[in-house]
Amino acid sequence: MRSKLAWVDLHSTAARGRLLGQLIQAAWEDGMNLKIESRQMDGVTIVSCTGRIVFGDEANALRENLKSILKSSRQIVLNLSGVSYIDSGGLGTLVGAYSSARSAGADIKLTGLGQRIRDVLQITKLVTVFEVYDNEQQAVKAFKRGAA
């Protein structure tokens, strides 16, 4: 009887509104914003992302940040270990940034991919586009090997 009551409740406009509000709040608290930090390691720019890379403000912020970094750096490691979710808009941003970097004679390597993001790159075959490393140190060493 309890589950039937919950089902009936969801048919009222007020209940649907409350549920939607709770889902939006949960998504917001889950890190809907994207935090981007950059630093240098052995001449390579490390860009660390925390949160979600999704269509809209988050993807735009990452795109603009990488565009700005590409003005002064030719070697970028994008650390996604703090990324909890990426959607098609986020993937498009990664591909666009990679393409822009390559056109400018720069390169972007990925690191810190969780299993979900690895699976998404595998399914979309983008794993064949990006160089992926287990950690920042390996990615930075790969740049050094390429320069030698």
Task: State the Cα–Cα distance between residues 145 and 148, nearest whole angstrom.
Answer: 5
Question: What is the rounded CA–CA span in Å between residue 37 and residue 49?
Answer: 7
pLDDT of residue 148: 55
Q: What is the mean pLDDT of residues 110-139?
A: 93
Residue 11 is predicted with a pLDDT of 53
pLDDT value, residue 96: 96
Is pLDDT of 12 > 90?
no
Is the pLDDT at 6 greater than 70? The verdict is: no
3-state helix/strand/coil string of 9-54: HCCCHHHHHHHHHHHHHHHHHCCCCEEEEEEEECCEEEEEEEEEEC
The pTM of this model reads: 0.76
Q: For residues 56 and 90, what is the distance between their CA atoms, to the nearest angstrom?
A: 9
Residues 114/60, Cβ–Cβ less than 8 Å: no
For 17-60, the pLDDT digits (tens) are 555 555 545 554 554 589 999 999 999 999 999 999 999 989 99
Is 90 exceeded by the pLDDT of residue 130?
Answer: yes
Q: CB count, 10 Å around CB of 30?
A: 11
- The pLDDT > 70 percentage for the chain reads 76
Tell me the one-letter amino acid at 139.
Answer: A
